[in-house]
Structures are given as C-alpha cells and as structure tokens.
C-alpha cells in the first residue's frame, strides 16, 4: 500500500538525532510565512511556484522554499502529501477534523499535490480529501487510484467497464468533476495494459481524467502503456533504503520517456525517522506494517545502521534523519516528487523542513559510500502483496 506514516510508536530514546519535539521547538519550522533558507541543490527546483505547463497552474504560496516539479506535463509542488495514513493502514483512522486540519495545513504551507485512492479505507480517504480540499479545489492537483475489487478480497480488476464505473464514484467522493492524475493501483495480469491505457485515454478525452499514472509497474509495462496513452507519473516505493527502482529499469525508463516518478514510502514507511526499533509494537489489526518483513523485531534491529548513517549527517546539518531522507530523494532526479504521509502536524512540518536542507555533492557521496557498506535486511512487504508488484 502507499505512502509512509512517520510513526511515533517505539522509543524516542533510541534515536541519536534531534527528537521531533526538540527539532520543531528549536527550529520553529514553517511558521506562518515560512520564510526562506537556501533551497535544495536540485536543478528543477529553480522554477517558481507558478506555471501553466500542461494546462494546470500551481499558484504561488507563502512557502518560498516550495518550488515546482513536473510529472510529465503535470505541474505539482516538489513535495506532495500522501493521504492514506490519515484514514487507514498505518494505525486506526484519525479523527475527521484532525485529518481535514492536516490536509488544509499542508495546503497553507505550500503543498499542492495530494495523493489518495479508493481502496484507502476503503473510500474514506477519498471522502476526507474531497471535503478538505473543496474550498481550493482549483488550486491543487488530486491524484487517486483504481484497480482493486474492494469486495473483501485482495483481487485486482482493471477491466475497462470497471474503470468507467469506479471513476464516477471517486469523482463524487472527491467532490470534483475531474481527476488530475489517475493511477492504475496495481497491474492486473488478466487485462492487457493496452486496454487499461485505452480506457484512460477515453476518460481523458471526456475530461474526467487529465493525466494517466501507473503504480508498481515494470519498465516493460510502462512502455506498452505509454505507447497507447502517455503516462505522466509512475508510483513505486523508493527511499534511501529501498532502491528497487534504481535497479529494475523503472527510474531509467521514466527519465527516457519524460515520465515523472512519485516515491511512496519515502521515509521507509516511517523506519528512517529513527523512531522505530526492535521494541516497537505495531497492531496487526490496523497497521499493515505489522505483517511486513522489514518490520519484524529482528529486521528493525538489523537495519539500524541505515538510520545511524542518516543520523550522522543529520547532526551536521541540524536536521533529522527524515529530512535527510527526503532531501536525498529530491536530489536524485529533477522529476522525482515524494509524497510523505502523516496525520501529525509536527511531522508535516518536519517533512516540509526538508526543503531547507542543502545536500552538497560531498554530502551525497558520503551517504552513498556509507550505504554501499550496509546490507538491507528483509523484503519490502509481505509475500501476498509482493505478488502484485510487477517486476518484469
């Protein structure tokens, strides 16, 4: 499933960096004006926050650190907001008013790209996002996803007739007449990707969808889909500790074809915050991570050197490991737009504080040299979910 929630579970004393509370208190991150420090050293981020590329406009914000990036021709803020964890999957649902406040605060602080899906909840995330963004719908980019059956199973359904049905339902929940970006949530092995792309092409011609996206698709599938309907964005898990897109051809394919890349889990599903360790208890009834290989006590302990490496640089930069993780992602490619997710306002401020972190070439080399000496233990998700991640 998508996005990371920076969990507060576990023991803060295990972290060797500034605590979240201390960091927010000491740094007074992202106040009302969010006035400026040097922006990240990333080529694409030199643009202002106003653009008319691809038929959409990202209006200027009070956050002078927030620049724009493009997913294909879709203009978005360089950091988006993953909205899954507010409503589902990384703990019990947050209070509705809390969720609305979080989303609107993200907007006030410069976020213009919000990610949800029908399966989150299911349905409750889209409903929340729709209500929260209704007052400024025309000033934001909303991404949602289709492709699960949502019938008590974990089956997939990307038949064109199913897509035509569920897009109408998503539009109603999101209180909008169009989806700026519509992803196939998982590739359906029983429906040729050309048929899926054709269905989305029809929806684009009808004005109900503006841009097409794929999630956890292989490089080969991306190319096949792109030949029918240009793909604007590909979403996959990608973080400092999860490098699959670097090795399976997906990132290179996106660069070649001019497709944007949207990492979910950009802070290792919360692990790279340094707040989770072998003593962390995740509720298997409400938190999907409880069944993921990397969140067993053994793996949480074994992967600690990764957090320590981030923490070492974070101390030098007066930052947190989470901020170093996000700054690292932004520095990889100018078409990468991470979507960290949280239900906590302090964590939101911390995430956006990554925009003030300048990583020099020497910093990036230090991170890569250190990471090359570290083994990442265990796989991304559980076996059932990994079966739906396309690799070829």
Q: Which residues are the active-site residues?
A: 120
CA atoms within 13 A on the CB side of 381: 21
Task: Give the dihedral of Cα atoms 44, 101, 108, 86; nearest 10 deg.
Answer: 0
CA-nearest of 92, 86, 36, 90 to 65 is: 36
Between CA 301 and CA 315 the distance in angstroms is 21
Instruction: Answer for the pair 217, 223: CB distance below 8 angstroms, yes or no.
Output: no
* Beta-bridge partner residues of 175: none
* DSSP assignment letter at 209: B
* Beta-bridge partner residues of 81: 114
Collapsing DSSP to helix, strand or coil, 5 comes out as strand
CA-nearest of 160, 153, 103 to 128 is: 103
Between CA 108 and CA 106 the distance in angstroms is 5
């Amino acid at each position: 499933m998508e996005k990371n929630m920076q969990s507060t579970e576990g023991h803060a004393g295990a972290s060797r960096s500034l605590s979240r509370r201390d960091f927010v208190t000491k740094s007074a991150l992202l106040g009302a004006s969010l006035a400026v420090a040097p922006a990240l050293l990333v080529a694409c981020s030199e643009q202002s926050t106003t653009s008319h590329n691809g038929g959409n406009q990202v209006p200027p914000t009070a956050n002078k650190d927030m620049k724009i990036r493009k997913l294909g021709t879709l203009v978005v803020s360089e950091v988006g907001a993953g909205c899954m964890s507010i409503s589902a999957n990384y703990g019990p649902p947050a209070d509705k008013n809390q969720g609305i406040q979080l989303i609107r605060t993200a907007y006030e602080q410069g976020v213009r790209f919000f990610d949800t899906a029908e399966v989150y909840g299911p349905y409750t995330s889209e409903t929340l996002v729709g209500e929260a963004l209704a007052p400024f719908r025309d000033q934001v980019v909303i991404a949602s996803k289709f492709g699960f059956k949502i019938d008590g199973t974990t089956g997939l359904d990307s038949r064109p007739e199913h897509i035509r049905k569920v897009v109408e339902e998503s539009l109603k929940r999101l209180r909008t007449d169009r989806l700026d970006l519509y992803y196939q949530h998982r590739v359906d092995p029983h429906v040729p990707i050309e048929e899926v792309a054709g269905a989305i092409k029809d929806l684009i011609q009808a004005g109900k969808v503006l841009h097409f996206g794929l999630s956890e698709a292989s490089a080969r599938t991306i190319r096949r889909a792109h030949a029918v309907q240009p793909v604007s964005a590909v979403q996959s898990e990608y973080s400092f500790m999860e490098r699959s897109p670097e090795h399976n051809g997906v990132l290179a394919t996106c660069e070649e074809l001019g497709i944007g890349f949207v990492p979910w889990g950009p802070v290792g599903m919360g692990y790279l915050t340094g707040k989770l360790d072998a003593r962390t208890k995740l509720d298997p009834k409400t938190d999907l991570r409880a069944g993921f290989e990397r969140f067993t006590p053994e793996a949480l302990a074994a992967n600690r050197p990764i957090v320590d490496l981030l923490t070492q640089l974070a101390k030098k930069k007066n930052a947190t490991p989470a901020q170093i993780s996000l700054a690292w992602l932004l520095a990889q490619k100018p078409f990468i737009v991470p979507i960290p997710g949280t239900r906590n306002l302090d964590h939101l401020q911390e995430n956006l504080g990554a925009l003030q972190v300048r990583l020099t070439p020497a910093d990036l080399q230090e991170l890569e040299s250190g990471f090359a000496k570290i083994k990442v233990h265990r796989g991304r998700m559980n076996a059932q979910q990994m079966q739906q991640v396309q690799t070829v």
